[in-house]
Amino acid sequence: MKNNHVTTLQIDLNAVRFNLDYFKSTLKDNTKILVVVKAFGYGSDAIEIAKCIQNKVAYFAVAYTQEGINLRAAGINAPILVLHPQEPNLSDLIENKLEPNIYNVSILKSFLKISSDKNLNQYPIHLKFNTGLNRLGFNESDLNLLFTELNDNNKISIISLFSHLAASEDYNEREFSLQQIKKFNKITSAFKLKFGFLPLLHMANTSGIINYPEAHFDMVRLGIGLYGFGNDDNETAKLKNVVSLTSVITQLHQIKKGESVGYNRAFSASKKMKTATVAIGHADGIQRALGNRNGAVKINNQIAPIIGNVCMDMLMVDVSDIDCKAGDSVMIFDSQKSLKNLAVKANSITYEILTAISQRIQRVIIR
């Protein structure tokens, strides 16, 4: 479908490759990389990202089955781990040769039933263990159940055991992270004792790659780092910016003293001023929290504060001191620093700013 939205998200695949190579340089030669491309590739373009690097990584991961199906339809043949498969989608998952994360008894029994019904042979699955995040995963006490259900079951093949660090970016939580790693080691040792082998082990997300080399194991999961963000400003400075968001001015207004701007008359002019209406709003991912001068954009390299409430499809900015006209480009963010600043102003995080970028915004790929 043609997309003629004048707001564009520029995606630099050269920066993606640079960031991947940087993280590779921090790993041992035999450590595999799984790249996370869920949520449209953290708000960018999962298909373009995957096509760009599929020959350089061991695995991709998505959150839900349909995300994996979309990659398969686009010709991505690399192994794809579905991190949060749902029971109604297991048949589609198998049909598209996606690999499920088995994280509780219910999804385990459902997958074993469908694997028997379809007479599968050594179908790849992954087992997730909870070591402290308390979101998804079996506990160490479930090992006996897993052994009973899975040992010598030729319908499935256990490809990996994994867990997830809860606070790998937070130096104040280092002791907690180390306890998680210790617990994972204990679980995997018990697994080996019971099953007689160890599949691939993985635990480290982006910050885990940076801060916990003892958690690299056989494979690491690279998420936000691929898109240009480390766990602190020093690490982020080693990476390249991947996405830039730009829009345009659609109309200028001369506002008299006492006149209001936008919904609920949230802004009133204390003096004569000039405003610009910009073709981007909260339906495109610009949080309402950025209104009322909390956030700002750049026009002709000058700061233009957002005034009033952010609308669904538009926002208004103060351009009283900026020489500009309708059609001029508006920079929402063009660097890690400017994106992080938006997140701070919105009392949010870079993950949320990125993944909130609407799919109706046109993607422009730099190859």
Residues 22 and 46 in one domain: yes
Q: Which of 228, 239, 235, 211 is nearest to 350 (CA)?
A: 228
Q: What is the mean pLDDT of residues 104-120?
A: 97
Q: Which residue has the tokens 């049909």?
A: 95
pLDDT in tens, 36-65: 999 999 999 999 999 999 999 999 999 999
In a domain? residue 146 = yes
For 215, counting Cβ atoms within 10 Å of its Cβ (0-12 exposed, 13-18 middle, 19+ buried), the class is: buried
Confidence band, pLDDT 50/70/90 cuts, at residue 4: confident
Predicted confidence (pLDDT) at residue 317 exceeds the cutoff of 80: yes
pLDDT for the residue numbered 162:
98
pLDDT in tens, 161-172: 999 999 999 999
φ, ψ dihedrals at 230, nearest 5°: -90, -170
Decide which of 236, 264, 290 is a domain's last residue: 236
* Distance, C-alpha 317 to centroid of its chain: 29
Predicted confidence (pLDDT) at residue 151 exceeds the cutoff of 70: yes
Beta-bridged to residue 138, according to DSSP, are 129
At 135 the three-state DSSP class reads coil
- 7, 248 in Cβ contact below 8 A? yes
Q: What is the mean pLDDT of residues 150-170?
A: 97
CB environment 276-286: b (16+ within 10 A), e (fewer):
bbbbbbbebbb
Token pair for residue 344?
A: 């701070």
Q: Which of 37, 112, 111, 50 is nearest to 76 (CA)?
A: 50
Predicted confidence (pLDDT) at residue 331 exceeds the cutoff of 80: yes
d(CA 209, CA 169): 10
Per the structure, the complete domain to which residue 329 belongs is given by: 243-366
d(CA 47, CA 245): 19
Predicted confidence (pLDDT) at residue 3 exceeds the cutoff of 90: no
Task: Please identify which of the residues 22, 238, 240, 263 carries the catalytic annotation.
Answer: 263
263 catalytic residue (yes or no): yes
Predicted confidence (pLDDT) at residue 2 exceeds the cutoff of 80: no
DSSP state of 224: G
User: Which CATH number fits the domain that encloses residue 290?
Assistant: 2.40.37.10
Determine the straight-line distance between the first and last CA of the chain, rounded to whole angstroms.
Answer: 21
Residues 80 and 183 in one domain: yes
Residues 270 and 181 in one domain: no
Task: Please identify which of the residues 38, 128, 155, 298 carries the catalytic annotation.
Answer: 38
pLDDT for the residue numbered 5:
85
Predicted confidence (pLDDT) at residue 188 exceeds the cutoff of 80: yes
In a domain? residue 4 = no
Decide which of 192, 217, 236 is a domain's last residue: 236
298 catalytic residue (yes or no): no
Decide which of 236, 251, 273 is a domain's last residue: 236
Residues 170 and 270 in one domain: no
- 143, 103 in Cβ contact below 8 A? no
Residues 186 and 290 in one domain: no
Q: What is the pTM of this model?
A: 0.95
pLDDT in tens, 128-147: 999 999 999 999 999 999 99
In a domain? residue 3 = no
φ, ψ dihedrals at 266, nearest 5°: -65, -20
pLDDT for the residue numbered 1:
59
Mean pLDDT of the chain: 97
Residues 182 and 34 in one domain: yes
